[in-house]
Amino acid sequence: MNTFSPNGHKTPRIALIGECMIELQQRADGSLQQSFGGDTLNTAVYLARALGDKAQVDYVTALGDDSFSDAMCQIWLDEGIGLDLVQRLPGRLPGLYCIQTDANGERRFLYWRNEAAVRDCFTTPAAEPILAALADYDVLYFSGITLAVLGAKGRERLIQTLIEARQRGARAVFDNNYRPRLWASREDAQAAYNSVLPYVDVALLTVDDEQALFGYADSDAVLQAYGTMGTPEVVLKRGAEACLILCDGETFEVPAQKVEKVVDTTAAGDSFSAAYLASRLLGGSPAEAAEAGHHLASRVIQVPGALIPRT
């Protein structure tokens, strides 16, 4: 079975690239609870909790110099996430989103993010040493949302960084997270995804997103496409159904864990990805990693919001 070992560091170094936003959770009575969230940030938090001192988990983003950005950074420090790769841009602000959840636990997102600082994450002079440092990490983790918010120039810089890091033995891990509203067109999104997929070692996919973006007929078509592409390790998340894994030419499934009452599905996929990656870094097989992913996701969807309390 395909191994997942760091590229020489005694303690694996993991950098997660993306955006954290101000999160507003709308409750049943119409009131709003404020916190922070974002797909790769959610994964970073759960990954840091799972790995503890067994790995170095750093977040890569750009924030403003406002009080919300200050609060974000403090929370990340408290969670054990490194801030060395976080830029603070004067006069800028983080993005904002609101989660509205229906009676079945399904959610609707409303976004305010067009002027978010992260859009200049890889285009500022301060980004140069950060990009150089990323080439020496063991794992680079990013998502489809990362691709959208970085823009065309930022994506070019990301691809070059992935190439350099992989030449040194790093693994690139990608969560597809396709959000149509972040793209000018479906064709633009397809082009952006296709530009980075050749450099991905582990693809953590959601079947609905793959069908919406590329029009695949079913799960088998998704796995066939990634198998043809040569992606070494593919995990296809399918909600309450078993996930499908393609690794070393072998395809198998790992059943999901049943949950009696789903409260909020926010960060279900992000937490699965975190637990999966943590297990693989600690020596678990893909099947063991998927079991860990299902277990954590099943707990997350029983609590409101993206990040459940540590307890």
Count CA within 13 A, CB hemisphere, residue 236: 26
Sheet with strand 21-26: strands edge to edge:
32-37, 21-26, 96-101, 107-112
Residues 6+ apart with CB under 8 A from 137: 13, 14, 15, 58, 165, 170
H/E stretch holding 150: helix 144-167
- Whether 264 sits among the annotated catalytic residues: the reply is no
Question: Helix 39-51 and helix 268-281: axis angle, to 10°?
Answer: 40
Give, in order, the Cα–Cα distances in Å from 142 to each of 152, 261, 273, 288: 15, 30, 11, 22
Q: Could you identify the residue written with the tokens 């079991």?
A: 291
State the catalytic residue, choosing from 58, 120, 209, 270: 270
Residue numbers annotated as active site = 270
